[in-house]
Amino acid sequence: MAKEVVHVIDLESGNLRSLQNAIEHLGYEVEFIRRLEDGSLRHVQKLILPGVGNFGHFVRELRARGFVEPLIEYIDSGRPLMGICVGLQTFFKRSEESPEVQGLGLVDLDLSRFDDSDKSVPEIGWNCVRVLGSEDDKTLYAMDPGSRFYFVHSYAGIVSSEDIDRLQNEGWTLAVATYGLETFIAAVVKNNIFATQFHPEKSGIAGLRLIESFLKQEKDTTIVNKALDDVEKTPTGLTRRVIACLDVRTNDNGDLVVTKGDQYDVREKSDGGDVRNLGKPVEMAEKYYRQGADEVTFLNITSFRNSPVKDAPMLEVLRLAARTCFVPLTVGGGIKDVVDPDGTRIPALEVASLYFRAGADKVSIGSDAVTAAENFYANGGKCTGTTPIETISKAYGIQAVVISVDPKRKYIADPAKCNYNCIETKFPGPHGEKYCYYQVTSQGGRKVHELGAYELCQACEKLGAGEVLLNCIDKDGTNSGYDFELINQIKSAVSIPVIASSGAGKPEHFEQVFKNTSVDAALGAGMFHRGEYTVKQVKDYMREHGLCVRLDEQME
């Protein structure tokens, strides 16, 4: 039997591969519509408008490609339409992000930027949503009160109780979420229109259930996932994010393997010094997804220098992983301007685009972020608009650009003589030094730079990075826990989210990092790869110790 077709509007602004995979996983076929040649959506029965990136760019593209009037006609005809993220935002009047651009104005409200004085912006993470006016055991489109959905945005329809009353009087059913002290619109429903600010295709089982209920047009659904008694109310409302990270490289036989070293040395100490082989990247990613990882990160630690970019084996890893892992995927390693073996120059933006099209949600930039920060300071603290951080975040939004920082602790006897932000440390150096800063490295720790991690992160935030993946070479692979002093220093440097990395060896370390710092997420590698603990064990432990985590009901 032929599969039912779902049409998806594709303005080529981000990762639509995951949405396609989710819809196909549910037994439907996807057809993308990139522009309207004959000016009509008459042949379409079910339509999804997903969006990422900049509001103004997205709405302008929608108009330029002739979608606006056919979309209104489509809505008036009563056929089902679902908007996702910037797709939802398009239904609003306008956004502080691009005040000069008019949205469709279906929802009589403006979007504004979250206040970053009490929390990280963008909001990146798993939040719960409250359907206003729902009954005890029923909800709307499977938006269960016990489910968590993945949000990633800086602008939102922030509402007061008067706004809520007004929109409800205009016939909208609303679901709201709370980020810090701000309540904003998480979803809207009116007749055939349904739109979510969060990404259901990135929200694990709960998200798949929601997409299915939309595709089956089962608006009123029975609650499956009931709200658990809250162990903790986090200051932001988000759960504590747990990320599994896969360092990937070719081993000496040319196979792509997940590896893991200590202090960035990935070769066995005995056994002739082979690259440690801990498993196959796609299989391991899927395993961690099933165990309840909130995100999976792939780091190409050797950047496969000899293959043309479009054939990079890591692209295939992303394509395959995105078919089965319905949580955010990040890829790093080699995101920079590159020259193919045939001499063709490929800008970093194009390299990143290939990864987004393959199924990545974020790219992580390591060595090139250091170069960009050095140039930023050499240029008197001015942006040039040309660095990969800038070009990629301009095209795909800041939430799509992570910087990966590889610092090393450097002890200082006299902080007055140091050019970088120093901290007084509880762990004095070998000669009793009481101060340290964190010196930046690149090329996987091989090159040391005259720059502090604090200064690097500040420059990159100004250039347009949306998140910091904070490694620590001294701690990497030691199983001795995270470096809280480094994490607290970097949290005080930036207002974008920070992911703690390096040193996790047991579930207690995750508990401690969230209780001793205000970090936004914590990442583990070796302890998962060596099978010492599962992600589920970490999350169960965290919950038992009073921390709020996302528990997918099918976690293994």
Residue 74 interacts with ligand 1PR (CB under 6 A): yes or no: no
Query: Which positions from 505 through 544 interact with ligand 1PR, judged by CB under 6 A?
Result: 524-526
The two beta strands, 123-127 and 256-259, are unpaired
Q: Shortest approach of ligand 1PR to residue 478 CB, angstroms?
A: 7
**Cβ-proximal residues to 65 (8 Å cutoff; 6+ apart), any chain:** 11, 34, 35, 36
Give the interface segment with ligand 1PR, choosing from 37-45, 70-78, 144-152, 299-307 (CB under 6 A).
299-307
Active-site amino acid positions: 85, 199, 201, 247, 406
The two beta strands, 92-95 and 467-470, are unpaired
Q: Shortest approach of ligand 1PR to residue 281 CB, angstroms?
A: 13
Residue 125 interacts with ligand 1PR (CB under 6 A): yes or no: no
Q: Shortest approach of ligand 1PR to residue 442 CB, angstroms?
A: 6
Q: Which of 486, 252, 289, 460 is nearest to 374 (CA)?
A: 460
* Residue with nearest beta carbon to ligand 1PR: 444
**191 in a known ligand binding site:** no
Residue 51 interacts with ligand 1PR (CB under 6 A): yes or no: no
Distance between CA atoms of 113 and 155, rounded to whole angstroms? 4
Q: Shortest approach of ligand 1PR to residue 297 CB, angstroms?
A: 7
Residue with tokens 């974020």: 362
Residue 252, judged by CB atoms within 10 A of its CB (0-12, 13-18, 19+), counts as exposed
Q: Which of 376, 342, 290, 295 is nearest to 552 (CA)?
A: 290
7 vs 539, which CB is nearer to ligand 1PR? 539
**207 in a known ligand binding site:** no
Q: Shortest approach of ligand 1PR to residue 430 CB, angstroms?
A: 22
Distance between CA atoms of 304 and 42, rounded to whole angstroms? 46
Residue by residue, DSSP assigns 356-383 as: HHHT-SEEEESHHHHHHHHHHHHTTS--
Any idea of the CA torsion for 345, 348, 349, 354, to the nearest 10 degrees? 90
Widest distance between CA atoms in the chain: 76
Distance between CA atoms of 345 and 174, rounded to whole angstroms? 48
Query: Which positions from 303 through 322 interact with ligand 1PR, judged by CB under 6 A?
Result: 303
Where do the H-state alpha helices sit in 388-483?
388-396, 453-463
**Cβ-proximal residues to 177 (8 Å cutoff; 6+ apart), any chain:** 127, 128, 129, 130, 151, 183, 184, 186, 197, 198, 237
Give the interface segment with ligand 1PR, choosing from 5-13, 60-68, 485-493, 495-503 (CB under 6 A).
495-503
Distance between CA atoms of 304 and 257, rounded to whole angstroms? 12
C-beta of residue 277 within 8 angstroms of C-beta of residue 296: no
114 vs 264, which CB is nearer to ligand 1PR? 264
**383 in a known ligand binding site:** no
Taking CB under 6 A as the criterion, the residue among 503, 511, 517, 555 binding ligand 1PR is 503
Residues in the interface with ligand 1PR (CB under 6 A) total 32
Count of CB atoms situated within 10 Å of the CB of 312:
22
Q: Which of 200, 177, 184, 215 is nearest to 84 (CA)?
A: 200
Residue type, position 56, single letter:
G
Residue 334 interacts with ligand 1PR (CB under 6 A): yes or no: yes
Query: Which positions from 422 through 481 interact with ligand 1PR, judged by CB under 6 A?
Result: 442, 444, 471, 476-477
Q: Shortest approach of ligand 1PR to residue 535 CB, angstroms?
A: 12
Q: Shortest approach of ligand 1PR to residue 264 CB, angstroms?
A: 4
Distance between CA atoms of 50 and 56, rounded to whole angstroms? 15
Residue 293 interacts with ligand 1PR (CB under 6 A): yes or no: no
Where do the H-state alpha helices sit in 94-170?
161-169
Mask for 352-391, x = binds ligand 1PR (CB under 6 A)? ------------xxxxx-----------------------
- CA terminus-to-terminus distance, the chain: 33
295 vs 368, which CB is nearer to ligand 1PR? 368
Mask for 260-279, x = binds ligand 1PR (CB under 6 A)? xx--x-x-------------
Mask for 214-253, x = binds ligand 1PR (CB under 6 A)? -------------------------------x-x------
Mask for 392-411, x = binds ligand 1PR (CB under 6 A)? ------------x-x-----
Q: Shortest approach of ligand 1PR to residue 362 CB, angstroms?
A: 12
Q: Name the binding residues for substrate.
A: 334, 471
Q: Name the binding residues.
A: 85, 334, 471
Q: Name the binding residues for L-glutamine.
A: 85
Binding site for ligand 1PR (CB under 6 A): 245, 247, 260-261, 264, 266, 299, 301, 303, 332-335, 364-368, 404, 406, 442, 444, 471, 476-477, 501-504, 524-526
